[in-house]
Structures are given as C-alpha cells and as structure tokens.
Structure 1
C-alpha cells in the first residue's frame, strides 16, 4: 500500500532515523463523527415499537448511552415530542368471598393521645369523636 503524503503516516518514536517496521491499520479508529441526519435515523430506529436500544446501538457501532443522549438533545431542540411514559396497565381486581366467610371487618381508626389510644371504626360521627378527644385531654 502506498501512502500519498506524510499526513497519512504516524510514527511512534523519534522523528529522525529510519523505520524498520510500518504497520497500517485500516478502518475506523477513535471517535466516529456522525451527521445530524445519521443520528436522527438511528434515534428514529430506536423509537420503533419493539426496538431495543442496545441492539440498535450495536448494529450502528454506537453505545446505548449515545442514543439516549441523542434522544435527549433532539427533545431539547423540539425535534422529538417530550418523553411520555405509557400509562400503566392493570389487571382487574377480583375479590371472591368463600362460602360461609364473614364479611370483612369495618376499617378501624386509631388515635394516640399521649399514652391513651382511642380505637373506633370510621363510621363514628365527627362531633362525637371531637367530644371524646377533648374528654381524654381534659382527664390528663
């Protein structure tokens, strides 16, 4: 392989003297410079339904963190819509009571006033509860 100019040659060691061995490495090395259009294509591919960012990154010789960074930058410039989490999907809750089982007990309410604990259910009247709390406080 012939080299057209000195800019294509990198020698390790002192510049004066002869070289006994010269190795030429072909292919990309160091940082890869990608055009804006190329980044946009890779980001678009990573956003396709079912696409895995790590696979897209591997396919294009990038890292998944680069793709996440490109997405963020495109969003900041308004070139992508804001990231919206998909709404969670829930399975319906089915509660069945076994035959002969008693109904669930009423929800209990516990109020601690110092070393006194009042326990009642949530159906208690608010005014009645206030009177009980005032009575407990006054007795202390």
Structure 2
C-alpha cells in the first residue's frame, strides 16, 4: 500500500476512547465507488419502517445527506431498486379496530383494509399477493 497522501482514512471512535476501527480506502480520491444498484438498495433500506437514516448511513459508511440524495434520485426514477430487493416482502402493521366488531359486516365490505398514512387500501378475498404487494409499494411511494 502506498503512502503518497492519496488514501482516504475513516476513523470510527464512536465506542469511547481511542479508535476502534480503521478503514483505509485506496485510490486517487479515497472515496467509495458505489454502483447504482448499491445506492438504490441503501436508499430503499433507509425507507423501511422503524429504520433511521442515520443508522443506515453509519452501517454503510456514508452520510445522511448522501442517502437523502439517493432517496430523491430513487423517487425521480434516476435510481431503480434491484429486482432482488423489490421482490422481498414488506410487512405493514396490522391494527384491529374493536369498535366495529359488534356491527354486522356491510354488503360488499372488503376482507382486508390496509392504511398507509392517509391512504386506505381495501382488498377482497379475490386479491392475490402480487396485487397487494404492488398496491402497498405504490402507496408507500406516494406517502414518502
């Protein structure tokens, strides 16, 4: 490894005293080069429920502002989430409303009702998993 001043060094001293990890990035700029797929995957990870951007940034050795930029690019369509990530199931919180338990079901009522922000998705017994997955993803994209 050359010591010509063209290396980037990342010091992680978040665990108290001293340096707990030393990461040396070689190359002319000392910066990581991420593919579009990696950037999209990291941005998508930061959009998951109960995940903070700061934690994702720390995990991947980048800044929060970089992830916010990648999220913006993802929304604009400049980055595309890889199929391997897009195909993963994403779960929404299930809330049972006991106040309506005593009322008889209305005619034509849906079997499942999913609320994401101010968006409500109602699905009948005939809805398949693919349809629900696409509807949930579209609602989350619209809500963010």
Q: Larger radius of gyration, structure 1 or 2?
A: 1
Q: Which has the higher contact order (CA 8 A, sep 6+)?
A: 2
Give TM-score, length-normalised by structure 1. Answer: 0.39
- Decide which structure has greater strand share: 2
Structure-2-length-normalised TM-score:
0.38
